[in-house]
C-alpha cells in the first residue's frame, strides 16, 4: 500500500488552488511547480529574471526542507521560461543552487 503525505510550509507560497505544495509518497517527494511569489506577501517579487529565479528556487528549497529533504536530492527539475533571452541569467542562478551533481 502506498502512502501519501501532504507537505505544507509557510516558508513557501501557499497553494492557491486544489493542489498541495508537495506530496511525499514511498520515499519520494513530488513538488508542485513554483513561481516567483514571496511567501510573506503571496505577491510576485519585484525584479528581473535573476531575482525571480532565486525566489523560485528558495521556494522549492523550503518545500523540500519541510518534507525532510533538500536540493541535493533533486533528480529532475523542469524550468519554463517566457523567452530564451533569459536562459543565460536563469542558468547562472540555477547553477548556484545545484553546484554538484545537478538534476536531470
Task: Identify the pLDDT of residue 67.
Answer: 98
Specify if 42 maps to a domain.
yes
Q: Residue 104 falls within a domain, yes or no?
A: no
Residue 103 lies in a domain: no
| Residue 2 reports pLDDT greater than 90 | no
What is the tally of structural domains in the chain?
1
Q: Which range marks the domain in which residue 57 is found? A: 5-97
* pLDDT for the residue numbered 1: 66
Dihedrals phi, psi of 77, to nearest 5 degrees: -140, 130
**CATH code of residue 61:** 3.30.1330.40
Long-range contacts of 47-56 (CB under 8 A, 24+ apart): 48/89, 49/81, 49/86, 49/89, 49/90, 50/89, 50/90, 50/92, 50/93, 53/89, 53/90, 53/93, 53/94, 54/93
Summarised one tens digit per residue, pLDDT across range 30-66 is 999 999 999 999 999 999 999 999 999 999 999 999 9
Confidence (pLDDT) at 16: 87
In a domain, 41, yes or no: yes
Amino acid at each position: 500500500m502506498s502512502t501519501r503525505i501532504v507537505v505544507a510550509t509557510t516558508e513557501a507560497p501557499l497553494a492557491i488552488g486544489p493542489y498541495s505544495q508537495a506530496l511525499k509518497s514511498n520515499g519520494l517527494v513530488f513538488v508542485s511547480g513554483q513561481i516567483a511569489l514571496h511567501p510573506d506577501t503571496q505577491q510576485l517579487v519585484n525584479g528581473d529574471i535573476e531575482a525571480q529565479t532565486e525566489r523560485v528556487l528558495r521556494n522549492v528549497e523550503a518545500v523540500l526542507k519541510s518534507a525532510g529533504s533538500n536540493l541535493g536530492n533533486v533528480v529532475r527539475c523542469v524550468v519554463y521560461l517566457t523567452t530564451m533571452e533569459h536562459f543565460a541569467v536563469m542558468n547562472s542562478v540555477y547553477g548556484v543552487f545545484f553546484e554538484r551533481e545537478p538534476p536531470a
